[in-house]
Amino acid sequence: MPSVKENDDKPDGLPKDEWQEDALYSIIILGASGDLAKKKIYPVLWSLFRDDLLPKNTSFVGYARSKLSIDDLRKSFQANCKIMKGEEEKFFAFIKNNLYISGSYDSSEDFKRLNESLNEREAKTNAGNRVFYLSLPPFVFDTATQHIRENCWGKTGWNRIVLEKPFGHDLESSRKLATHLNSLFTEEEIYRIDHYLGKELVQNLITLRFANRIFNPAWNNHNVASVMITFKEPIGTQGRGGYFDEYGIIRDIIQNHLMQIFCLAAMEKPVSLNAEDIRDEKVRVLRRIAPATIENSVFGQYLGNPTGKTEDEKMGYLDDPTVPKGSVTPTFAALVLKIDNERWEGVPWILRAGKALNERKAEIRVQFKKPDGDIMPGTGAKRDELVIRFQPNEAIYLKMMTKTPNSHFGMEETELDMTYSKRYEGVVLAEAYQLLFLEILRGRQIHFVRNDELEETWRIFTPLLHQIENEKVKPIDYEFGSRGPRDADRLLAENNFIYTGTYKWPGPSK
Ligand SMILES: *[C@@H]1O[C@H](CO)[C@@H](O)[C@H](O)[C@H]1NC(C)=O
Ligand SMILES: *[C@@H]1O[C@H](CO)[C@@H](O)[C@H](O)[C@H]1NC(C)=O
């Protein structure tokens, strides 16, 4: 059965851009020997090259400490690239456009060598456009960015710098990083990736809300009872919890990914589709939110499941040898935010994220109030609910009441269903990183995080993060593979989110 393939790397229908003909584009990957580069960045660049989506003259320049030949570099990522029969030659051409420079992150000499080799390649063209992609641990951000700015900033074309989380650890450290970056680059030169903004259905939030008459008039506290944004994953830390332990689930998922979804769902209609207009509205709605509080939160940490099928499932968070003994870092959190503005006053927005749960899922649920002046009291009418599922099995569906066929006024729950695998059968959705790379090359910042958004999200979560860390608030235990702590269900109920369990998703392509 054909279906929307997730994260496959042969997306359909991406627009072919008109790139600057007389320019050489260089994509410089700092941290080229690292995990993210091998697993994600190089395979994505290959897929874009293969599908002729990049500017014709694009060089890929790896930079890292390890001494690698181009062949070593190729070997490090080739297994993660999809190379079909007949594409071997193209892959060879891709490798030919690769360059690797070994250097340290604190040596201006090494960065000067990088600059020289970029200059060499650009010499025969009119302009050299440079993308610096930082796939680096945070402790080298400062020196690496400084050296890039001082030694590698091209003079003939544009320069862009791409960063990924973590953007600091709390409001103060995030501000420090921002001050540093702003001393070197303009905001137009900085692309902060939150890969959720590269997801098709996250991007669709703007279209759904503002290109349809029916949603926006109902999108307010007169009609909406509550909203829940959920992230769940069915895997634990898999023996690599040491890194996670310094962050916890709020920094890992909620403060960034879920808040980006939140902004697009809650913001007012932007003046235009310009990046700055959209990002202005995101900041505006964030500014109307009071900091998250411990009274309105539930934290959890998973225990191993003795009957689990894999070693991962049997291992609790604290059994992970890389996690410090007695850690109170939450692997699950549910919390409530309120937006103090005319549209949303009184409506709870519940954000919920956890590891080692029963399923993999990222979605938003907008629960509507029951109709006023109900002429069918006592019939068991349930609330309407609009569900947008970002992953897996992308779908938009509206749970609603309908008359049971052939009954008098019997009713039942049903759905208006736009499951992508059915409506867009066989269409391959682009992967987030594919879309985001193209946006960086185009110079379009809509799907990247602006500094003031970042600052506002940290303002909302920093007091709570500091409190649970200072007071060592103990999270509630939950079992690997469960729905998380029971208390989270209580939090939902207290915040006007009704879960009846009566509705059954009929499954895709039924
Ligand atoms: C790419 O750049 C080289 C110079 O580095 C130039 O000779 C060549 O014509 C360019 N190719 C295209 C397709 O623009
Ligand atoms: C880096 O290259 C540019 C050419 O694009 C050159 O103008 C600049 O002086 C070089 N920087 C250093 C520090 O050598």
Report residue 10 as tokens: 């042969």
Tell me if domain 23-164 and domain 197-495 are identical in fold.
no
Least confident of 17-21, 44-48, 200-204, 408-412: 17-21
Question: For residues 197 and 203, is the Cβ–Cβ distance under 8 A?
Answer: yes
What does DSSP assign to residue 483? S
Of 22, 52, 57, the one to substitute when testing ligand 1's pocket (max ligand atoms within 8 A of C-beta) is 57
Nearest CA to ligand 1 atom 10: 57
Ligand 1: which residues within 6 Å by Cβ? Answer: 24, 56-57, 121, 124-125
Delimit the domains of the chain by residue range. 23-164, 197-495
The reported pLDDT for the residue numbered 350 is 98
Q: Is 156 in the pocket of ligand 2 (CB under 6 A)?
A: yes
Of 124, 126, 129, the one to substitute when testing ligand 1's pocket (max ligand atoms within 8 A of C-beta) is 124
The reported pLDDT for the residue numbered 374 is 84
**Phi, then psi, of 232 in degrees rounded to 5:** -135, 140
Question: Is it the case that residue 124 has pLDDT exceeding 60?
Answer: yes
Report the separation in Å between the CA atom of 113 and the middle of ligand 2, taken as the mean of its atom positions. 10
Question: Is it the case that residue 2 has pLDDT exceeding 90?
Answer: no
Q: What is the mean pLDDT of residues 289-299?
A: 98
Provide the 3-class DSSP secondary structure of residue 163. strand
What does DSSP assign to residue 317? G
Could you confirm whether 257 is annotated as catalytic? yes
- Residue 121 CA: nearest ligand 1 atom is 5
The reported pLDDT for the residue numbered 509 is 46
Report the separation in Å between the CA atom of 60 and the middle of ligand 2, taken as the mean of its atom positions. 19
Torsion of CA 66, 72, 77, 83, to 10 degrees: 160
Q: Which ligand is nearest to the Cα of residue 128, counting in written order?
A: 2
Q: Which CATH superfamily is domain 197-495 in?
A: Dihydrodipicolinate Reductase; domain 2 (3.30.360.10)
**Ordered DSSP codes for 83-140:** --TT-HHHHHHHHHTEEEEE--TT-HHHHHHHHHHHHHHHTTSSEEEEEEEE---GGG
Percent of residues, the chain, with pLDDT higher than 90: 86
Question: Considering only CA atoms, which of 197, 83, 257 is closest in space to residue 431?
Answer: 197
Nearest CA to ligand 2 atom 13: 151
For tokens 């509205």, the residue is 281
Q: Is 125 in the pocket of ligand 2 (CB under 6 A)?
A: no
Question: Is it the case that residue 8 has pLDDT exceeding 80?
Answer: no
The reported pLDDT for the residue numbered 11 is 67
- Residue 156 CA: nearest ligand 2 atom is 5
Question: Considering only CA atoms, which of 180, 115, 169, 185 is closest in space to residue 142?
Answer: 180
The reported pLDDT for the residue numbered 9 is 55
**Phi, then psi, of 459 in degrees rounded to 5:** -60, -40
Least confident of 4-13, 128-137, 224-233, 283-292: 4-13
Q: What is the 3-state secondary structure of 6-43?
A: CCCCCCCCCCCCCCCCCEEEEEEEECCCCHHHHHHHHH
Nearest CA to ligand 1 atom 2: 57
Question: Is it the case that residue 236 has pLDDT exceeding 50?
Answer: yes
For tokens 């594409």, the residue is 87
The reported pLDDT for the residue numbered 244 is 95
Model confidence band, residue 369 (pLDDT cutoffs 50, 70, 90): very high
Question: Is it the case that residue 500 has pLDDT exceeding 90?
Answer: no
Report the separation in Å between the CA atom of 156 and the middle of ligand 2, taken as the mean of its atom positions. 10
Report the separation in Å between the CA atom of 153 and the middle of ligand 2, taken as the mean of its atom positions. 6
Measured CA distances, 421 to 10, 147, 483 (Å): 16, 47, 26
Selected from 3.40.50.1820, 3.30.1360.170, 3.40.50.1000, 3.40.50.720, the CATH number assigned to the domain covering 23-164 reads 3.40.50.720
Say whether pTM exceeds 0.85: yes
For tokens 């990183």, the residue is 433
Question: Is it the case that residue 225 has pLDDT exceeding 60?
Answer: yes
Report the separation in Å between the CA atom of 59 and the middle of ligand 2, taken as the mean of its atom positions. 18
Report the separation in Å between the CA atom of 127 and the middle of ligand 1, taken as the mean of its atom positions. 11
Q: Is 112 in the pocket of ligand 2 (CB under 6 A)?
A: yes
Q: What is the mean pLDDT of residues 119-135?
A: 93
Tens of pLDDT, residue by residue over 302-354, are 999 999 999 889 999 999 999 999 999 999 999 999 999 999 999 999 999 99
Tens of pLDDT, residue by residue over 418-476, are 999 999 998 988 999 999 999 999 999 999 999 999 999 999 999 999 999 999 999 99
**Ordered DSSP codes for 223-239:** TEEEEEEEEE-S---TT
Sign of CA dihedral 392, 398, 401, 403: negative
Tens of pLDDT, residue by residue over 9-67, are 566 666 666 788 889 999 999 999 999 999 999 999 999 999 999 998 999 999 999 99
Task: Single out the catalytic residue among 257, 408, 447, 466.
Answer: 257
Q: Which ligand is nearest to the Cα of residue 155, counting in written order?
A: 2
Ramachandran assignment for 86, one of left (phi > 0), alpha (psi -120 to 50 degrees), beta (any other): left
- Residue 123 CA: nearest ligand 1 atom is 5
Question: Is it the case that residue 6 has pLDDT exceeding 50?
Answer: no
The reported pLDDT for the residue numbered 507 is 64
The reported pLDDT for the residue numbered 3 is 41
Question: Considering only CA atoms, which of 137, 141, 139, 138 is closest in space to residue 161?
Answer: 141
